[in-house]
Amino acid sequence: MRCRVCGVVGVRPFLDLGKMPLSDGLVRPENLQGPELTFALEVAFCPNCAMVQILQDVAQEVLFPEDYPYFSSFSDQLLAHSRRHALNLVETRSLSGDSLVVELASNDGYLLQNFVELGVPVLGIDPAPAQVKAANDKGVRSICRFFGLELAEELLAGGTGQAEVIIANNVCAHVPDLNGFVAGMKALLAPGGLITIENPYVRDLIDHCEFDTIYHEHLFYHSCTGIARLMERHGLHLNHVEYFAELHGGTLRYHVSHQAGRTPELEAYLADEAATGVDSFRYYEGFAQRVEQLRVDLRALLSSLRAQGRTVAAYGAAAKGSTMLNYVGIDGDLVSFVVDRNTHKQGLHMPGTHQPILGVDALVEQRPDFTLILAWNFKEEIMGQQRGYTEAGGQWIVPVPHPEVIAS
Ligand SMILES: [Zn+2]
């Protein structure tokens, strides 16, 4: 099989999750009896460019139908992280009314609004019409397009200047033509400019058994080695890296520019990846076995609770929740409903396993004995918001890195 990024034949699969429904394909009540599409889901490592990737392609129009019914919900934690990032960039890059900040996958302007507030011109680019409208409505200039070299050249030809800063957060995992995406960034970046890219770190995925972050929308799982090689092939350079342990289970922010040179922090990450083998197949070999063990352990925990007559709900109707429920085989007998703060998801059902999605009030109203935190990347925030449930005797289960009841 051929690598999606470097084109060399010989990617090596290391995890097969079997056939899975689309993880964002929430089911309307009237469609519960109908057929549900499932697609194979396998993950592989490219020994040539070190890119971890899934093997299956699901057509973009199937993944992101036009009536894609909801906005990404941003947690308070993520909004605060974004704001700190923006303020820091304004200061360290001396951004002003003459600068331009471009964000790729800018959504509803959740990040760029911080620059607008400080009078720094921005351009958001996002393929989702409703989100782009919401951004423009609040004064964050945005256009509704997929980003790539073609759009970058079109913008430059149309008089948009090159950008001092380009931000791409949690998008480099989703782009089928990653080479065109990076080539577009190179074209659009001013000579002394900075690109920052954030993505969950593949090392956390593997080390903490975060297999539920694997789904059809996520084509790539990034490391410093993989990003460094990708940038080099496009004449860009990875210069620096920052780590955020609490964000999405462990996130790296890559700093990329036209200039060569590596900070000691980046050198340390690259050396560490070479030492642990993140850049070679052996690191990934035992992963499937650990994922299988998690499945066995979580099923055993939930089955024994149910056998004791305890009730179990789950929190978080996001994509990773779907991967967890479907791979582990958690049906409505084991977990009877799922709660989510996002009102657009309430009233729908989980893909594949079909639990109804209710508002978070259901935790206090229905008082399940245990709640499985599918959105474990926000577990502190969730437990903080749901003190009433905990005080009423509710207990929490966290599924990764191994299933565990949290003592409260
Ligand atoms: Zn490759």
What are the tens digits of pLDDT across the range 315-338? Answer: 999 899 999 999 999 999 999 999
Q: If you average pLDDT over residues 196-213, what whole number do you get? A: 96
Ligand 1 geometric centre to CA of 9 (Å): 8
Round to the nearest angstrom and report the end-to-end CA distance of the chain. Answer: 48
Ligand 1 geometric centre to CA of 54 (Å): 12
Specify the pLDDT at position 408.
62
Q: Write the CATH number of the domain with boundaries 146-276.
A: 3.40.50.150
Selection from 49, 48, 24, 50 nearest residue 37 by Cα: 24
Ligand 1 geometric centre to CA of 304 (Å): 44
What is the rounded CA–CA span in Å between residue 362 and residue 397? 17
Q: Is the pLDDT of residue 278 over 60?
A: yes
Q: If you average pLDDT over residues 227-252, what whole number do you get? A: 95
CATH architecture for the domain at 287-406: 3-Layer(aba) Sandwich (3.40)
Ligand 1 geometric centre to CA of 104 (Å): 24
* CB-CB contact of 222 with 53 (8 Å): no
Specify the pLDDT at position 242.
98
Higher pLDDT, 60 or 131: 131
The confidence band for 74, taking pLDDT boundaries of 50, 70 and 90, is low
Specify the pLDDT at position 65.
67
Ligand 1 geometric centre to CA of 162 (Å): 29
Least confident of 70-84, 174-188, 341-355: 70-84
Q: Is the pLDDT of residue 350 over 60?
A: yes
Ligand 1 geometric centre to CA of 253 (Å): 21
Mean per-residue pLDDT of the chain:
94
Ligand 1 geometric centre to CA of 288 (Å): 21
Strand order of the sheet with strand 101-104? 142-144, 122-126, 101-104, 163-169, 189-200, 251-257, 237-244
Q: Is the pLDDT of residue 71 over 70?
A: no
* CB-CB contact of 63 with 319 (8 Å): no
Least confident of 5-19, 67-81, 264-278, 314-328: 67-81
Q: Is the pLDDT of residue 70 over 60?
A: no
Specify the pLDDT at position 83.
96
Specify the pLDDT at position 57.
87
Ligand 1 geometric centre to CA of 152 (Å): 25
Q: If you average pLDDT over residues 42-52, what whole number do you get? A: 97
Selection from 1, 37, 43, 5 nearest residue 19 by Cα: 37
Ligand 1 geometric centre to CA of 48 (Å): 5
Note residues around ion ligand 1 (Cβ under 5 angstroms): 3, 5-6, 46, 48-49
Q: Is the pLDDT of residue 72 over 70?
A: no
* CB-CB contact of 194 with 256 (8 Å): yes
The confidence band for 45, taking pLDDT boundaries of 50, 70 and 90, is very high
Q: Please state whether the peptide bond connecting residue 69 to the residue before it is cis, i.e. omega within 30 degrees of 0.
A: no
Q: If you average pLDDT over residues 76-105, what whole number do you get? A: 95
Task: Report how far Cα 95 is from the mean position of its chain's Cα atoms.
Answer: 28
Q: Is the pLDDT of residue 69 over 80?
A: no
Ligand 1 geometric centre to CA of 279 (Å): 11
Ligand 1 geometric centre to CA of 49 (Å): 4
Ligand 1 geometric centre to CA of 223 (Å): 13
Specify the pLDDT at position 68.
58
Ligand 1 geometric centre to CA of 45 (Å): 8
Specify the pLDDT at position 23.
87
What is the rounded CA–CA span in Å between residue 281 and residue 287? 11
Ligand 1 geometric centre to CA of 44 (Å): 10
Task: Report how far Cα 82 is from the mean position of its chain's Cα atoms.
Answer: 15
Q: If you average pLDDT over residues 124-134, what whole number do you get? A: 91
In the chain, what percentage of residues exceed pLDDT 90? 87
Ligand 1 geometric centre to CA of 273 (Å): 17
Higher pLDDT, 168 or 78: 168
Q: Is the pLDDT of residue 73 over 70?
A: no
Ligand 1 geometric centre to CA of 281 (Å): 12
Structure tokens given for 11? 């990617």
Q: Residue length, the chain?
A: 408
Question: CA angle 297-210-41, nearest 5°?
Answer: 95
The ranges of the chain annotated as CATH 3.40.50.720 are 287-406
Ligand 1 geometric centre to CA of 330 (Å): 35
The ranges of the chain annotated as CATH 3.40.50.150 are 146-276
Ligand 1 geometric centre to CA of 303 (Å): 42
Ligand 1 geometric centre to CA of 20 (Å): 25
Selection from 16, 38, 77, 28 nearest residue 352 by Cα: 38
Ligand 1 geometric centre to CA of 10 (Å): 8
What is the rounded CA–CA span in Å between residue 98 and residue 121? 7
